[in-house]
Amino acid sequence: MNPIESMLHLIGNTPMLRITGFDTGPCELFMKLENRNPGGSISDRGARAMIEAAESEGWISPGDTLIEATTGNTGVGLALVAARKGYALVLVVPESVNPDKVLQLRAMGADVRMARSDVDLDHPAHYVSIARRLADELPGSRYLDQQANPANARAHEEGTAPEMWEQMQRDMDAFVCGAGSGATISGCARFFRKVNAAVEIVLADPEGSVYASAVEGAGHVPGPGSSLVEDIGGRSVPRNLDLDLINSTYTVSDVEASTAIRQLLMLEGILGGISTGVHLAAALEYCRMQSTPKRVVSLVCDSGYRVLSTAYDESWLLDRGLVPRKAHGDLRDLITHRADDGGVVSVSPEDTLLSAYTRIRMFDVSQLPVLEGGRIVGLIDESDLLLAVYDNRKYFDYPVRDFMITRLEKVDPNASISSLLPVFRGDHVAIIADDSRFYGLVTQVDLIDHLRKTMQDTSDTDRDLNHA
């Protein structure tokens, strides 16, 4: 392989993988690895195409400022292309986006402006409205408008879909695809209509998006919202999404999407992002519903590196009810990091203070239980650490045993919720343990979370535990 001249040459020409580890019913399933684009998602294609089309139309030239409203991936693609070609870039992103994306965009040189995420498209504080306004205000600036820009869909009609068609030896029956701006699914569908109109176009839509109901002719009916998916789905249909090209739809929940990507990693060794989970879950469902063999193609449209601490983290998912968790009907249900799920973050008495400090930082907790043989023998918190190392840094290398608190106030898992209050009034954390075992810690925030979750169920706090 010869050296390449620019990262931009690495956009597109992505590999196609045959999926072998999953039950695909009578079908064969293939996934195009769009996570292999240099920006880590399929959106690199549209980003490059929009900038190059604007250049060839004489609409922009190096030195201009490009503006876009984005939930992140198109922004990454634009930042990559803009920096190589000498454009300034202003990105307006809703404040709900994954903070790692914002860090990446800023590190790539983009001027990132945050906007409210709780308002609809027609609101002046919506990120799209702000981007449009900025383009009017900033001299020499251009709004790229991925939602309506025809070059975005053309990137897929002329790039993604022809690549797929050749990789499948011109033999495929269905394409399962999500839609953000709609450019990918519409562009690919236009190509397939030309080469083989029988290729079925299947929309994979996350819960809470109105696209699936709009295709089904049920109007724009938002369901309960997804808390994980950022890049696909939407609450109003964008210009690039041509509903007439779509034959059928599957709606995918957060649970299904996060389960699908964790299985994809285990079974195929691919670290996909949460939008990939929506694609895969819908594609598997489609495959299993068929009564005749079909060759089905879908996308690994994004990388999972940014969601390792969310969609791939068992305790994060457990905490949000996105993987089933055993309910005990007692105080154990309030614990975020449970020992019986293997989720507890702890140290042993022989670990050093430096290890304790590293774990506190890594897991973003304020204290750690000190465990020996499954039983709690101490507790070490930030102030114990600080007081220990303030006078003498060498204590970082000393064992936790020398600095931990050993006078522990334990609360039996069968105690009532109200028995936590005296512990919290003393500004302590509740240690849920019985004579033989440690179950986990309950903090004041854990109790607030529990009260919020059970808000609708009861006005009597102790009533939602079975025993009380």
Ligand X SMILES: Cc1ncc(COP(=O)(O)O)c(C=O)c1O
| Residues at the contact surface with ligand X, assessed by CB under 6 A | 41-43, 46, 73-74, 178-184, 231-232, 273, 275, 301-302
- In angstroms, give the least distance from the CB of 151 to ligand X: 12
- In angstroms, give the least distance from the CB of 431 to ligand X: 42
- In angstroms, give the least distance from the CB of 177 to ligand X: 8
Contacts of residue 9, defined as CB under 8 A and 6 or more positions apart, other chains included, come to none
Chain-centre distance for alpha carbon 218: 28
230 vs 319, beta carbon nearer ligand X: 230
Residue-wise DSSP of 183-224? HHHHHHHHHHHHH-TTSEEEEEEETT-SHHHHHTTS-S---S
- In angstroms, give the least distance from the CB of 144 to ligand X: 12
CA–CA separation, 337 and 314 (whole Å): 10
277 vs 378, beta carbon nearer ligand X: 277
- In angstroms, give the least distance from the CB of 365 to ligand X: 31
Contacts of residue 187, defined as CB under 8 A and 6 or more positions apart, other chains included, come to 152, 153, 154, 155, 156, 157, 158, 160, 161
162 vs 349, beta carbon nearer ligand X: 162
- In angstroms, give the least distance from the CB of 155 to ligand X: 9
Which residues is 250 bridged to in the sheet? Answer: 204
- In angstroms, give the least distance from the CB of 90 to ligand X: 18
Contacts of residue 385, defined as CB under 8 A and 6 or more positions apart, other chains included, come to 353, 356, 357, 360, 403
Hey, what are 147's tokens?
Answer: 């939602």
202 vs 331, beta carbon nearer ligand X: 202
128 vs 433, beta carbon nearer ligand X: 128
- In angstroms, give the least distance from the CB of 76 to ligand X: 9
205 vs 319, beta carbon nearer ligand X: 205
68 vs 333, beta carbon nearer ligand X: 68
Sign (positive or negative) of CA dihedral 85, 88, 90, 96: positive
Amino acid identity at 395:
Y
179 vs 442, beta carbon nearer ligand X: 179
273 vs 440, beta carbon nearer ligand X: 273
Max CA distance (Å), the chain: 76
168 vs 179, beta carbon nearer ligand X: 179
Could you give the angle at which helices 353-363 and 382-391 cross, rounded to 10 degrees? 140
Residue 231 and residue 41 in contact, taking contact as beta carbons nearer than 8 Å = yes
- In angstroms, give the least distance from the CB of 72 to ligand X: 7
CA distances from 59 to 137, 146, 148, 346 (A): 17, 16, 16, 58
CA distances from 3 to 10, 81, 407, 449 (A): 11, 19, 64, 54
- In angstroms, give the least distance from the CB of 275 to ligand X: 4
Residue 310 and residue 316 in contact, taking contact as beta carbons nearer than 8 Å = yes
CA–CA separation, 216 and 104 (whole Å): 37
Q: Is 429 helix (H, G, I), strand (E, B) or coil?
A: coil
Length of the chain: 468
CA–CA separation, 50 and 111 (whole Å): 19
Q: What 8-state DSSP symbol labels residue 3?
A: P
Chain-centre distance for alpha carbon 79: 20
Hey, what are 303's tokens?
Answer: 């990388």
- In angstroms, give the least distance from the CB of 304 to ligand X: 11
242 vs 319, beta carbon nearer ligand X: 242
User: Which letter, b or e, does each residue of 65-98 get, where b requires 16 or more Cβ atoms within 10 Å of its Cβ?
Assistant: bbbbbbbbbbbbbbbbbbeebebbbbbbbbeebb
